[in-house]
């Protein structure tokens, strides 16, 4: 089986999202270009807070709601993985 993940970080992030938010979805089926919120994966603001904490603990990247790029960062799994790759400390 092949997947559409461009990197192992995207694959790892899909797993982190599913595990952290206790989603009933196979991480391998998450389209990395699909929207994380709304009609996409269906996440909400509480999910974003939980996910931000997990990202901070796992990768050392502090996501802040005051960041002007926060909507773009959380727009998709791929965008989130790219931001983590650029800013991670772990």
Residue of 47, 49, 56 lying closest to 88 (CA atoms): 56
Read off the pLDDT of each residue in 67-81 and give the average, rounded to a whole number: 96
Domain range list for the chain: 8-87
Give the CATH number of domain 8-87: 1.10.1200.10
Q: Taking the complete model, does pTM exceed 0.85, yes or no?
A: yes
Query: Is the confidence at residue 19, as pLDDT, over 70?
Result: yes
* 3-state secondary structure string across the chain: CCCCCCCHHHHHHHHHHHHHHCCCCCHHHCCCCCECECCCCCECHHHHHHHHHHHHHHHCCCCCCCCCCHHHHCCEHHHHHHHHHHHCCC
């Amino acid at each position: 089986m092949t997947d559409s993940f461009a990197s192992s970080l995207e694959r790892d992030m899909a797993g982190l999202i599913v595990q952290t938010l206790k989603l009933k979805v196979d991480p391998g089926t998450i389209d990395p270009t699909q929207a994380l919120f709304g009609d996409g994966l269906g996440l909400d603001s509480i999910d974003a807070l939980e996910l931000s904490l997990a990202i901070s603990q796992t990768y050392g990247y502090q996501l802040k709601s005051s960041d002007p790029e926060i909507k773009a960062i959380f727009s998709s799994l791929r965008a989130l993985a790219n931001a983590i790759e650029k800013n991670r400390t772990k």
